[in-house]
Chains A and B, each alone.
Chain A
Amino acid sequence: MRENAFRFGRARHLVGVVGLPASATDNVGVIVLNAGMVHRIGPFRLNVEMTRRLNACGYPTLRFDLSTLGDSSASAELESRPQQIRADVADAMTLLGEKSGCKGFVLVGLCSGAENAHTAACTETRTAGAIFLDGYVYRTAGFMLRHYLPRLFSPKTWRGFLARHLRNNPQLADDAPDFRHEFPQRSAIRTDLIGMLDRGLKLSFIYSGGMSQYFNHRRQFRECFGRVATHPGLSLSFLEDTDHTYILDTDRDRLLDVIEDWLLHNFPVVATSISA
């Protein structure tokens, strides 16, 4: 594994780390986006562990900070945030392509990173696939039944509710950042997914137990998005015991196993004879 840090982008405003496998390959490159406000190393260094593991499998990688996040600056362009994200991801693909020779790219994002990966994957023609960690999903009638019915008669649930309520820290409520925002219409996301799959993209949705307020069963994805959920280019995993940011070693290992298996299945490693 070899890593090099770069300042790059149309305004030299982005900072990222390129990791290359030991030998040259014809594989897709994997680009990992910020999770929330965490800089490019990811929550609990998840992105570092992920990119190094994928380098060991033979995939070139780039973990980088989008405009204004981590160590990256603003580009000084008058663009909407979605436009900035698309342009930043395009810059990232250009950099990783130059350094590794790969022409297709898989985007990986957690939480807001999954939303940003979705935004970029919709229009960026060099996208070959995307891995959405706790990406878009919507509560369904099935979710409500599974969520509330067992809880209604459970003393444990009521005890937990009271504990959370009593623990509610008013100072925390005051100083905690509030990143809530409106999700796009479900139909718009469904249309986007159909469009991506029609373009031949491979999509992986991985949900954590930390999404239990929004997602509680594999079948919810079908309830939510309909027949697109059964498209052969789309896969779904539900790591029910884990938290949203994979704070435990064993959970990060499980997640990385899922990601590695999915990549090797959909984008098999092909070594080339010319060393990079």
Chain B
Amino acid sequence: MMALQEEALPCHFGSNNELFGLYHAPAGVARKAVLLCPPLGQDLIRSHRVYRQLAETFAAEGTAALRFDYYGSGDSAGRSVDVSWTRCIADIIVAARELRARSGCPALIAFGARLGGSLAIAAAAAAHFAELIVWDPVLDGVAHVTRLDALQAALRLDPMRFVKPRSTQDAAGQWLGFAVSPHLRQQLVELNLQPPVTRTLLLDSLPPDAAHDWDLLVAAGASVKILNPPTIWDDLDRLEHTILSHELIRAVTGHLREIV
């Protein structure tokens, strides 16, 4: 049953109000609460619409939701080059506290796409998540860095984007439009996620030719659901295309209805 929902409320929270968020309150008392952990870089912009749709659907079904931006991303304070893995995890913990305070729900479900999923896994114990829903999470940091480096190298030569190829120097220190610090790069190279002890649903929409290496999560008891059609995350031709997935929204909301 869809209830009349409140308007999403934009807000700032955390230390010095550095973090931007949008709280989606359900009509009446929240029965559950979901923290939506965004991905990083261009994935954040591409998945903004899906995150909004998810949060609105949750609120309409009586579940509170908080969307937010990490320090150095989106509308939060800080420059893009300031994004760091450890700060993102700290921000998730702060956002979880904010959501508990606003919703009155002590048990939180975390959702995250790509690196947002990886961050939700990494923060699960410290943020005391009761459940994780991760969508095509990045589990292999070295492979991810290699992929982003290759895309960045191709981007500066892309005749569809630039009239003349750009120099290596012009494109250095960035991934697909966002400045990246050596610190974040190293943190991703050294990414070593621990198997989550939290109940986890993995939504796999990677294309058939991608590495579907979910051993870390499957060994920890995660259930895996395949989504079709595949989501093309890493393709220069689609770099500025919005990601839309009705299948994802159906799968996540259907799963949430099953959680007591």
Contacts and interface: CB of A to CB of B under 8 A. Distances in A.
Interface of A: 3-7, 12, 15, 17, 36-41, 43-45, 48-49, 70-71, 73, 160, 163-164, 167, 169, 172, 176-177, 209-210, 212, 240-245, 247-251
A243 B155 CA distance: 11
Given A164-B160, A247-B177, A41 B74 contact: yes
B8 A71 contact: yes
A261 B155 CA distance: 29
Given A39-B48, A45-B177, A249-B174, 8 more contacts: A7-B9, A17-B75, A44-B42, A45-B73, A164-B159, A247-B161, A248-B156, A249-B179
A210 B52 CA distance: 30
B80 A45 contact: yes
Given A41-B75, A44-B178, A71-B10, A249 B173 contact: yes
Contacts of A6: 10
A41 B45 contact: yes
Contact of A212 (B12, B155, B163): B163
Contact of A7 (B10, B156, B162, B170): B10
Interface of B: 7-12, 20, 22, 42, 45, 48-49, 52, 73-75, 77, 79-80, 155-156, 159-164, 166, 170-171, 173-174, 176-179, 237-238, 240-242
A5 B241 contact: no
9 contacts: A37-B242, A38-B240, A43-B177, A48-B75, A167-B237, A240-B163, A247-B176, A248-B170, A249-B179
A4 B22 CA distance: 12
A39 B51 CA distance: 12
Contact of A172 (B155, B159, B238): B238
B12 A4 contact: yes
A71 B177 CA distance: 22
A12 B79 CA distance: 30
Given A39-B48, A71-B22, A248-B174, A169 B237 contact: yes
A6 B7 CA distance: 12
A210 B155 CA distance: 13
Contact of B166 (A7, A70, A210, A248): A248
B129 to A, nearest CB: 25
B7 A38 contact: no
Which A-B residue pairs are the 7 nearest by beta carbons? A44-B177, A5-B10, A209-B163, A243-B161, A247-B177, A39-B48, A212-B163
B75 A241 contact: no
A6 B10 CA distance: 6
B184 to A, nearest CB: 15
B241 A177 contact: yes
Given A247-B155, A249-B173, A70 B240 contact: no
Contacts of A45: 73-74, 80, 177-178
B162 A5 contact: no
A169 B52 CA distance: 29
Contacts of B7: 7, 12, 73
Contacts of B74: 41, 45, 48
A138 B144 CA distance: 42
In this complex, the member of A15, A41, A242 whose beta carbon has the largest number of chain B beta carbons within 10 angstroms is A41
A5 B20 contact: yes
> Which of A39, A169, A244 is packed against the most chain B CB atoms within 10 Å?
A39
Contacts of B52: 71
A147 to B, nearest CB: 11
A35 B170 CA distance: 23
A32 to B, nearest CB: 12
Best-surrounded residue of A3, A49, A247 (most CB of chain B within 10 A): A247
A70 B69 CA distance: 14
Nearest to A176: B241
Nearest to A44: B177
Contacts of B155: 247
A209 B166 CA distance: 12
A39 B164 contact: no
B161 A210 contact: yes
Contacts of B45: 38-39, 41, 43-44
B232 to A, nearest CB: 9
Contacts of B11: 5
Given A12-B7, A43-B177, A249-B179, A172 B237 contact: yes
A210 B161 CA distance: 6
Contacts of B10: 5-7, 15, 17, 71
A241 B173 contact: no
A240 B177 CA distance: 18
A243 B156 CA distance: 10
